[in-house]
Each structure stands twice: as structure tokens, then as C-alpha cells.
Structure 1
Amino acid sequence: MHSTLECLTDWMSRQRWYAGKGRVPHLVQVSRVEWQCDDDDARIAVMLVRDTASNPPSLYHVPVVLRSTIPRGSGRTFIGRDEHGDYLFDAAHDEAYTREILSRLGLQRSDLWSRVHTGEQSNTSIIFDEGDEAPLVVKLFRLVHAGENPDVVLQSALTAAGNRSVPRMLGSLSTTWVDPHGSHTHSDEPASGHIAFAQEFITAVRDGWPLALEAAAAGSSFAADAERLGVVTAEVHTALQQCMPSREATLGDIVGFVAGWHQRLAVAMSDVPQLRELRPEIEAVYDAAREAPWPALQRIHGDYHLGQVLRRASGEWLLVDFEGEPLRPLDERTRVDSPLRDVAGMLRSFDYVVGSLRNTTPAAAAPASQAEEDARAEWAHDARAAFLDGYISASGIDLREHRALLDAFELDKAVYEAMYEARNRPTWLPIPLAAVAYLVSPERAAKR
């Protein structure tokens, strides 16, 4: 038998949502709240643990169910046995916990059967979709930050405004803690943040990434879908501008954006030496953006790509996962930003579709012919152009007037992608490097 933290240490290192891949967690308990439940053999402990092995230390939300026995069929969710002889289980898979969290979210449901979505990485989604009641999903935030999570705030605002391009919000749950390990000043001041929320679960939809990938592999145009996606993206941006704070970009804002781009480039060059040769051209694109016209700053999606959109059978698109990049500090993810960041993210996603086809082709298959490569490039060009056409038509913002700025945002994204691929998937590095080379080329400059 081991302590609760020892049990969690081994188990967390194997979870998809644990951010410190390849590293052994060093856990410190920050808080532990016991929830009552109606199962006589179960106790619910909602824990916050700080992983001090990461830099900066990450705070994780880990709800567990403690039992005196191991119920039949629960072995796959078993965490360990603690020093008190209790068996610990992942609460997301235990009905004692799922019943209680629904109650705490203020939701009543007669059919309490649930399942855990297997495709997520940074969070855990518990889906209730049996019986005649409307399906819903409870998302557990695994990485927790002090403050209001944008996934809750933005989707709640859009729901309140009547926007139907996001799933309808049903409730959220916060907690409070005191954590000297998470503060440079070792403060004993209490902090609070979201740990879970519920929203409607949309059925009969498909993820945008495999849809686009299938179309590109088959040589089928994706332009109509991309144009509709551009329209709904602009509509959501407009709705966010109307129901959340927005303002004109100041000189200080612009200087801050450009400085951030330069800083990311400096970091990326240590991982991607190929970027050093293009540094003057990259910096010239960044510096030109300082003099370009800037649209108003507002709240945006923040991590926008084809994996963050769902298409109904009717062809309508839905936007999901407004959390932004979970590893970025929360204060960065809750600031007003440029809508062009979202636009650039989706443009990069179309490029990645055709790039991934090249990288996932079986080794035994013959390399694509030049004609096939040209057709794939044309597919991406058409999808990108259609997306921009849809966005322009719905937003009233002529992105052609912001071409220099949009190129800078896309270039910054491609530089980040190059750093990521060099660290994690070196064989994919040519995808972002090709984008960087094009965006700084005389051919592209002539179109600005």
C-alpha cells in the first residue's frame, strides 16, 4: 500500500491529460474536499495537486472515488490502494461521482448512465446520452488556473446571447484553494477557478479534421465547407465583440504583439536551425505589421483549427473548446486579442491537411507524383481562399486590407509549429518550414 499521492504519481504519468510526458510527477497536495454521495461503499475526494516537477508547476484537478472493495468491471479505472486500505478509482468512470457532479451543477436527469470520451487529451469529458433526455456532456478541467476559464466564460456569453454556433451551456463549477507552491511570493491568499462545466452534447456531427482529410485524400473540393466555416467564424467573432469587451488596438498593444513574435522566433531558432537563415525576412514581415492597419481587439477562440469545429449532417458548423492553449497562462488567454489570430490558425490547418497526407502515406506506397502534389496544393489554396471569402462576406472586414498583418499572424503560427514539430515529430517539420519560406518569399510579398 502507498500514500494517496504515491498512487496518483504512477497513475497520472500514464494519463493522456498529464502534460509532463516522459517525466515522473512530483506531487504536492493543495486541497482535498470530500463530497457526500448516496453510495454506502463510496467516498468522493476532489483533489487539487501541484506537480512541482514541471516549470512552472502545474495544478491538476483529480477527483477520485475511494471504496473498500473493487467492484466487478472497475479494474481499468483502478488507481491504487492507499495507506488506509482504501481502493482508489478514477472518479470520471464511477457513477457515485457522476451522479454527484450533476447535482452540484444543478442538473436533474433520470438516466444517469455515462461514458468517458476517449479522444480528449487535456481534459476529461463525461457524456450522458442514453434514454430519451437531451444528451449532455460534463467537461472536467484537468489543468486548473486561478481565474475564470475562457471555455466557460465565452460559451456562456454566446449562449446567453442566443448564438447557436456553439453548444448550449448548462452550468459550471468552481472551487477555492490556498496554494503557496503556486506563487512566487508563497502567498496564503485564497484563489478560485473553474474545475468543470456542462453543456449540451451535439450528436450526429463530425470533426472537421477527418472530414477535410478525407476530402483531400479523395481529391474532392472542400471549398463549399470552408466558405461556410468562414461565415460562421465571422459570425461568432461578431457575437463575441458584441457581448464581451472589445477596443481599438493601441500602439502599446501593437508593440506587445510584435515583441511576442520576435521572442517566439528567438526561442524557436534554438530548436530549428533552418529558421536562422530566414531570420531577417521573418523579422521584416513582423516589423511591417507594426505599420499595418489593425482591426479592433476582442475575445477570440484562441486555439482555432479544424479539430475545434464540428459539422452537422445539414452542413452547419459548430465551434467548440474555447479554452485556448491550456498550457498558456490564464491571463494571456483571457485578454482581448486579434480575430486575425483565429483566421491564421484555420489557414494553417488547411495546409496541415495536405501536409499530413504526405506524412501518413504508408512506407510501401509509391511517393505522390508531381501532378498529385500539385492537386493537393491546389486543394489547400482553394480551401483557404473559400474560408477567407466566407469570413469577409459575413464580417464586413476586408482581409485584403489586412494582408500584411494576417501574414504576420500566420507566420508566427508557422514558426511555433516548426518548434513543436522539431521537438515532437521531426518528420513533420517540412510542413511548417514550407509555409515559413513561402510567407517570406518575394512572391508572397508582391501580393501584400
Structure 2
Amino acid sequence: MHSTMECLTEWMTRQRWYAGKGRVPQLVEVHREDWPCDEPDASIRVLLLRDTASTPPSLYHVPIVARTTIPRGAGPAFIGRDEHDDYLFDGPHDPIYVRALLRRLGVTRHDQAGRVHTGEQSNSSIIVDGGSEAPLVAKVFRLVHPGDNPDVVLQTALTTAGNRNVPRMLGSVTAAWTDPLGSESHTDEPVRGHLAFAQEFVPGVRDGWPLALEAAREGEPFTTDAERLGRVTAAVHQALAACLPSREPTLGDIVGFVAGWHQRLAVAISDVPQLRDLRPQIEAVYDAARDAPWPPLQRIHGDFHLGQVLRRPTGEWLIVDFEGEPLRPLSERSRVDSPLRDVAGMLRSFDYAVGSLRRESRAAAGAIDTASLDLDALALEAERAEWARMARAAFLDGYIAASGLDLRAHRALLDAFELDKAVYEAMYEARNRPGWLPIPLAAVAYLVSSSRAAKR
């Protein structure tokens, strides 16, 4: 037997959503709720745990179920045995927590059996689709922050506006806590944030990433799907601009964007030496964007790529996961931003589909020497990637047709957003997946090339 905190410390290191890979959590309980339970030999404990081993310290939402016995089939969700002789289980995998969560969400349905989606990483999604009632999915946030989560705010606004390009929102759960250790507040005043929400679950959909990958591998055009996706993206942007704040960018906004690009580049160069030789050209693209025309700022998706879109069996696209980048401060993810950031993110995703196949070929031929990559050859490679070029063009055509925003008039700005994204990707790959580094480096080299500059 161990204390609850000892059990959780060992267990959390094995969870995909734990962000502190490679280190031992230093957990401090900052909030606890005991939810009503419909079984006499069990209890539900909803914990908020601050991990002081990370910088800044992360706040985790960990719902657990304590039982006096181990139910049949509960082994995979087992956390440990605490000082009270109770067996602890991960809440989303336990039916009594699922039933309690649905009550908190205000969802009434006869069949409440849930299953946890195995592909989730930063959160835990519980799919409830038994019986004849409309299926739903409840997303349990694991990393939580004071304030309203964009995933809840944006999808609620879109649902209220009647937009059908996102799953319909059904309810959300919040908590209030006091956390003087919090990096966002450093205060004894109580704060409030989202713990979970529920939305409709659309059966039969397919994730956009494997769809695009299959098409690229078979050499099949993705233009029809990409054009539809461009139209849906524009429709969602228009709906967000209509129901949430939007405004013209100020000079301060523009200077802030450009300064952020330069700062990310400076950090990336320490991880990716190949960027050093390209720095003057990269900075020239950034500086040119400062003087280019800017469309209005508004709320956006914030982490847009093929893995964030689902295609219905009928061919229509749904956009999901409006949380933004979970490791970024909530204050940054809740600000108005440029819709071109989302557009650039999807353009990069088309490139990644082709690049990942090219990486497979390189890996099959032998190890990739990232230190001796030929940047000119990579730039030419990116320019000649016909499948990605056609998908990108179709996506932009669809976006322009549905939005009325002539992206050609913002080509310099769009290139800057895409270049910033590629620089970030290069830094990420160098740190985590060196074999993937040629993909973003090819994009950087092409975006600063003379052939690309001639098209601006």
C-alpha cells in the first residue's frame, strides 16, 4: 500500500497525456471534489494536482474512483492501492465516474456505458454510443488552466449560431479552486476553469490525416476533398468572426506578431543549425509581412491540421479540437488571432503528408544524416511535390470562394505564417524526431527561395 499521491506519481509517468516525459512528477494537491456515487462500495474523487517538477508547473485534472474490490476487467485502469486499502482506478475508464460525469454535464440518457478513445493524447475522450439514443463523446481535459477553455467557448458559440461544421455541444463542467502555486495567477483568490465537456459523436467519420496519406501514397488527387475543406474552414472562420470578438489589427498587434516570429527563429537556430545560413532570407520574409495588408483579427482554431478534421461518410468535413496548442498559456490561446494562421497550418499539413512518404523512402534506403542535408535540393523537392501543390491550391481555392477573402492579396503574409510554422516544426523535429527534420527544412528552404519570392 502507498499514499494516494505515491500511487499517482508512479502511474502518471506512464500516461500519454503526462507532459513531463523523462522526469518524476512532484505532485501537490490544490483542489479536491468528492462527487456523489451510485455504488456503496466506491467513491469518486476529482483531483487537481500541480506538478512542481515542470517549468512552469503544470496543473493536471485527475478523476479517480476508489473501490474496496477490483471489478472484473478493470485491470488496465488500475492506479494502485492507497493507505486506506482502497483500490484506485482512472475515472474515465470506470462506469460510475462516467455516469456521474454525464449527470454533471446535464446529459440524460438510458444507456450510459462508455469507452475511452485509445488514440487520445493530451486529453481523455469517453465515447457513449450504446443503445438507440444519439451517441456522444465527453472530453476530459487533463491539463487544465484558470479561465474558459477555447474548445468549449468556440464550439459552444458555433453550436449556438447553428453552424453544422462542428459537432453539436451538449454541456460542460467547471470547477473553482485556489492555487497560490499556479503560474498563471500566483494568488490566493479563487479561479475557475473547465474540466470537461460533451458533444455529439458522429459515427462513421474518418480522420483527415490517414485519408490524405492514403491518397498521396496511391497517387490519387486530393483536390476535391481539399477544396471542400477550404470552404468549410472559411465558413467556420466567418461564423467565429460573427459571434465572437473580431477587430482590425493595430500596429502594436502586427509588431507583436513579427517579433514573435523572430524570437521563435532565434530559439530554433540553436536546435537546427541548418537554419542559421537561411536566417537573413527568413527574416526578410517576416519583415516584408509587417508592411503587407492584414485581414481582421478574430478567434481561430489555433492548431489546425489534417488530424483536426473528420470526413463524414457523405463527404462533408467536420472541424474538431478547438483547444489550440495545449502547452501554450490559455491567455495566448484565448486572444484574437489571424485566420491566416489556420490556413498556413493546413497548408503545412498537406506538405507533411507527402513528406512523410518521402521520409519512409529515405529510411528504407538507410539512416538520414540530418547534418549534411542539401537545402537547395530540399527546396527543389518541395517545389516539385505535385500532389501537395494541387491539394494546397484546391484548399486555397475553396477558402477564397467561400470567404470572399482574396488570399492572393495576402500572399506575403500567408508565406510568413507558413514559414513561422515550418521553423517551429523544424525545432520540434530536431528535438523529438530527427528523421522527420527534412520535411520542415524543405518547406523553409522553398519559402525563402527565389522561385517562391517571384510569386509574391
TM-score interval, normalised by the smaller of the two chains:
over 0.9
Aligned partner of 1:75: which letter? G
SS at match of 1:80: strand
Q: What displacement does 1:359 show?
A: 2.0
Q: What displacement does 1:315 show?
A: 0.8
**Equivalent position of 2:319 in the other structure:** 319
SS at match of 1:235: helix
Q: What displacement does 1:435 show?
A: 0.4
**Equivalent position of 1:12 in the other structure:** 12
Residue 87 of structure 1 pairs with residue 87 of structure 2 = yes
**Equivalent position of 2:103 in the other structure:** 103
Q: Distance in 2 between matches of 1:25 and 1:48?
A: 14
Q: Distance in 2 between matches of 1:241 and 1:389?
A: 20
Q: Distance in 2 between matches of 1:418 and 1:293?
A: 27
**Equivalent position of 2:385 in the other structure:** 377
Residues 414-425 of structure 1 mapped to structure 2, 5 A cutoff = 414-425=422-433
Does the 8 Å CA contact 2:429/2:436 hold for their aligned counterparts?
A: yes
Q: What displacement does 1:85 show?
A: 1.2
Residues 25-64 of structure 1 mapped to structure 2, 5 A cutoff = 25-64=25-64
Residue 442 of structure 1 pairs with residue 450 of structure 2 = yes
Residue 342 of structure 1 pairs with residue 350 of structure 2 = no
Q: What displacement does 1:279 show?
A: 0.6
Q: 1:289 to 1:396 in 2, by over 3 A?
A: same
Q: Distance in 2 between matches of 1:13 and 1:347?
A: 34
Q: 1:184 to 1:253 in 2, by over 3 A?
A: closer
Does the 8 Å CA contact 2:216/2:353 hold for their aligned counterparts?
A: yes
Aligned partner of 1:397: which letter? L
**Equivalent position of 1:370 in the other structure:** none
Q: How many residues align?
A: 444
Q: Distance in 2 between matches of 1:422 and 1:16?
A: 21
Q: Distance in 1 between matches of 2:153 and 2:68?
A: 39
Q: Distance in 2 between matches of 1:361 and 1:436?
A: 21
Aligned partner of 1:383: which letter? A
**Equivalent position of 1:122 in the other structure:** 122
Aligned partner of 2:70: which letter? I
Counting aligned pairs with the same residue, the percent is: 77
SS at match of 1:43: strand
Q: What displacement does 1:184 show?
A: 7.5
Does the 8 Å CA contact 1:173/1:196 hold for their aligned counterparts?
A: yes
Residues 255-334 of structure 1 mapped to structure 2, 5 A cutoff = 255-334=255-334
TM normalised by structure 2 equals 0.95
Instruction: Work out which of the residue numbers 416, 427, 430 in structure 2 matches 1:408.
Output: 416
Q: What displacement does 1:6 show?
A: 0.8
Aligned partner of 1:111: which letter? D
Q: What displacement does 1:185 show?
A: 7.1
Q: Distance in 1 between matches of 2:95 and 2:17?
A: 21
Aligned partner of 2:390: which letter? D
Does the 8 Å CA contact 1:285/1:404 hold for their aligned counterparts?
A: yes
**Equivalent position of 1:226 in the other structure:** 226
Aligned partner of 1:259: which letter? A
Q: What displacement does 1:2 show?
A: 1.1
Q: What displacement does 1:206 show?
A: 0.3
Query: Residues 124-177 of structure 1, C-alpha deviation per residue, up to 9 Å, x if partnerless?
Result: 000001110000010000000000000000000000000000000000000011
SS at match of 1:301: coil
Does the 8 Å CA contact 1:216/1:376 hold for their aligned counterparts?
A: no
SS at match of 1:269: helix
Deviates more, 1:68-77 or 1:409-418: 68-77
Residue 156 of structure 1 pairs with residue 164 of structure 2 = no
Query: Residues 406-435 of structure 1, C-alpha deviation per residue, up to 9 Å, x if partnerless?
Result: 000000000000000000000100100010
Query: Residues 349-381 of structure 1, C-alpha deviation per residue, up to 9 Å, x if partnerless?
Result: 0000001112234955799xxxxx799810000
**Equivalent position of 2:439 in the other structure:** 431
Aligned partner of 2:391: which letter? A
Q: 1:345 to 1:89 in 2, by over 3 A?
A: same
Does the 8 Å CA contact 1:37/1:43 hold for their aligned counterparts?
A: yes
Q: Structure 1 regions of 5+ residues with no counterpart?
A: 368-372
Does the 8 Å CA contact 2:245/2:299 hold for their aligned counterparts?
A: yes
**Equivalent position of 1:168 in the other structure:** 168
Residue 21 of structure 1 pairs with residue 21 of structure 2 = yes
Q: Distance in 1 between matches of 2:113 and 2:81?
A: 26
Q: 1:374 to 1:9 in 2, by over 3 A?
A: closer
Q: Distance in 1 between matches of 2:73 and 2:411?
A: 57
Deviates more, 1:414-423 or 1:104-113: 104-113
Does the 8 Å CA contact 2:111/2:130 hold for their aligned counterparts?
A: yes
Q: Distance in 2 between matches of 1:184 and 1:94?
A: 32
Q: Distance in 1 between matches of 2:50 and 2:267?
A: 27
Residue 358 of structure 1 pairs with residue 394 of structure 2 = no
Does the 8 Å CA contact 1:154/1:322 hold for their aligned counterparts?
A: yes
Deviates more, 1:351-360 or 1:283-292: 351-360
Query: Residues 30-64 of structure 1, C-alpha deviation per residue, up to 9 Å, x if partnerless?
Result: 11111111111110000000011111000000000
Q: Distance in 2 between matches of 1:384 and 1:151?
A: 26
Query: Residues 370-397 of structure 1, C-alpha deviation per residue, up to 9 Å, x if partnerless?
Result: xxx7998100000000000000000000
Q: Distance in 2 between matches of 1:171 and 1:376?
A: 47
**Equivalent position of 1:68 in the other structure:** 68
Aligned partner of 1:382: which letter? M
**Equivalent position of 1:134 in the other structure:** 134
**Equivalent position of 2:378 in the other structure:** none
Does the 8 Å CA contact 2:79/2:89 hold for their aligned counterparts?
A: yes
Q: 1:289 to 1:112 in 2, by over 3 A?
A: same
Q: Structure 2 regions of 5+ residues with no counterpart?
A: 368-380
TM normalised by structure 1 equals 0.97
Q: Distance in 1 between matches of 2:71 and 2:359?
A: 44
SS at match of 1:157: helix
Q: Distance in 2 between matches of 1:299 and 1:187?
A: 28
**Equivalent position of 2:77 in the other structure:** 77
**Equivalent position of 1:143 in the other structure:** 143
